[in-house]
Amino acid sequence: MPTLKDIAAVCNVHISTVSRALNNYPDIPEETRKRILEAAKLMGYKAGRVTGHKTKTSRIGVLLQEGSGSAVFYEILHEIWKYLLPRGYDLVLLHPMRAEGGVSDAPGYLAKARVLGLDGVLILMHIDECGLYQTDRHAAVRDLLISEIPVVVVDSSVGICSCILPGYDEGMHTLVGHIRQKGHDRIALIHGHRTAGNGSEENLRDWNKLFSDAVEVYRGSVHENLVKCVKEGSVAESFSATMELLQKWNWIPPTCIIYTDEALLRGGMEAAAKCGLRIPEDISVAAIRFTTQREASRCRVTSWCFDPALIAEEAVKKILTWRKTAGFPGNRIGFVSGTLAAGSTVKTICVPEYE
């Protein structure tokens, strides 16, 4: 029996293109679609393998990240359950499979989803799209993404499926505006980048542009030496970058530092403590975080954060729309607005002139 991979090789296209053509996705050029359908017919491919997922079971699966960084995903999971329950849907957890040495992405998610007759799957985990195709470690997730089953990924941008992302551009503008209203002019940014599977740097968001655009709106100026790029999620690199900002002898240090994830924030606060600086009396800090407002308020850090209920609602709506129409789910990427947790880590130093 020929596979999607076999058809892709014959047509010289990506396997996801074959899957989408066989499922009548409108984003595939008509010429390419006809070529793939003809090849599938000549090779004896059974269309039922792709389009046979017809029975609606009112079951939605969730693939949930475990361990570090998963706390917020559990919040979203709870909100998904609250949204689905009164609408008559069951929630099925697809736990990461275990193998010797830790978590393994051994094949199985797609098979489980088909056996359980899931109407769709929500993926609550961070996905490196480059690594998705360059290693077999994530083969199970990859197979699920390119299958006939509707999939929506939260907080990761994956080109072959629908995604729900927090509006980080809105967050940067809101946070910078709040800091500027407190009278801060020398604002620093420590942001993260990821390293792609081929060793190159992969900036998932252009933090430099988001930051400079936001500062410009509030009549400020970006000081080149106040923007530091470190490895995403690295406490150690954030610590070093913050120490450099605070201890450089031949310049005026920033009055406030913005961090773009939880780990970078932790490294920055450790550096401030190492320098004997009090927050916010001596140095103000703020963050753009994938976290809940409740959590941000609990640690009193001035933050932009999303509402898990909104993320859950948008993700589930996209899955249910796909299920109802039995076709393309609409916009590929959905952005969800966030909220400002004012906290107490940014002090007022003067009244800005632009007010």
Query: Is 60 exceeded by the pLDDT of residue 15?
Result: yes
Q: Are residues 158 and 179 in the same domain?
A: no
The pLDDT tens digits for 16-33 are 788 778 877 777 888 888
Q: Are residues 282 and 240 in the same domain?
A: yes
In a domain, 212, yes or no: yes
Distances in whole angstroms, Cα of residue 259 to Cα of each of 11, 130, 286, 337:
46, 25, 6, 19
- 217 vs 176: CA distance, rounded Å: 9
In a domain, 314, yes or no: yes
Q: How confident is the model at residue 292 (pLDDT cuts 50, 70, 90)?
A: low
Q: Are residues 40 and 88 in the same domain?
A: no
Higher pLDDT, 106 or 209: 209
- The reported pLDDT for the residue numbered 238 is 96
The pLDDT tens digits for 218-227 are 877 777 789 9
Q: How many domains does the chain have?
A: 3
Q: Are residues 121 and 183 in the same domain?
A: no
Q: Are residues 114 and 156 in the same domain?
A: yes
In a domain, 184, yes or no: yes
Write out the DSSP string of 310-335. HHHHHHHHHHHHHHHHTS--S-SEEE
Q: Are residues 186 and 132 in the same domain?
A: no
Candidates 186, 175, 203, 200; CA nearest to 349 is 186
Contact present, 91 and 119 (Cβ < 8 Å): no
Q: Are residues 63 and 46 in the same domain?
A: no
Pairing of strands 338-341, 302-306: antiparallel
- 181 vs 27: CA distance, rounded Å: 45
CATH, residue 172: 3.40.50.2300
- The reported pLDDT for the residue numbered 276 is 95
Give the phi and the psi of residue 318 in degrees, each rounded to 5. Answer: -70, -40
Higher pLDDT, 56 or 337: 337
Q: Which long-range contacts (CB under 8 A, 24 or more apart) does 212-217 make?
A: 213/169, 213/172, 213/173, 214/172, 214/173, 214/175, 214/176, 214/177, 215/176, 215/180, 215/187, 217/173, 217/176, 217/177
Query: Is 80 exceeded by the pLDDT of residue 301?
Result: yes
- 342 vs 344: CA distance, rounded Å: 7
In a domain, 346, yes or no: no
Range of the domain at 102: 59-165+308-336
Q: Are residues 159 and 195 in the same domain?
A: no
- The reported pLDDT for the residue numbered 158 is 80
Average model confidence (pLDDT) for the chain?
Answer: 79
In a domain, 348, yes or no: no
**Rounded to two decimals, what is the model's pTM?**
0.65
- The reported pLDDT for the residue numbered 257 is 97
Higher pLDDT, 326 or 9: 9
In a domain, 239, yes or no: yes
The pLDDT tens digits for 44-74 are 776 544 444 444 558 899 988 765 456 678 8
Q: Give the chain's end-to-end CA distance (angstroms, integer).
A: 70
Could you say which of 13, 31, 51 is where a domain stops? 51
Higher pLDDT, 13 or 99: 13
Q: How confident is the model at residue 338 (pLDDT cuts 50, 70, 90)?
A: confident
Contacts of 233 (CB under 8 A, 6+ apart): 69, 192, 261, 263, 264
Mean pLDDT of the 333-352 span: 85
In a domain, 343, yes or no: no
Q: Are residues 140 and 42 in the same domain?
A: no
Candidates 332, 341, 334; CA nearest to 306 is 341
CATH, residue 33: 1.10.260.40
Q: Are residues 136 and 73 in the same domain?
A: yes
- The reported pLDDT for the residue numbered 128 is 67
The pLDDT tens digits for 123-165 are 987 776 666 666 555 778 888 888 888 899 988 878 777 888 8
- 271 vs 267: CA distance, rounded Å: 6
Residue 241 burial (CB count, 10 A): 24
Which two tokens mark 211? 């930051």
The pLDDT tens digits for 167-207 are 888 999 999 999 999 999 899 999 987 543 333 344 445 78
Q: Are residues 35 and 145 in the same domain?
A: no
Higher pLDDT, 324 or 277: 277
Strands, E assignment, 207-283: 227-231, 256-259
Q: How confident is the model at residue 99 (pLDDT cuts 50, 70, 90)?
A: very low
Place of tokens 């970006």: 222
Q: Are residues 185 and 302 in the same domain?
A: yes
- The reported pLDDT for the residue numbered 302 is 94
In a domain, 216, yes or no: yes
Higher pLDDT, 159 or 319: 319
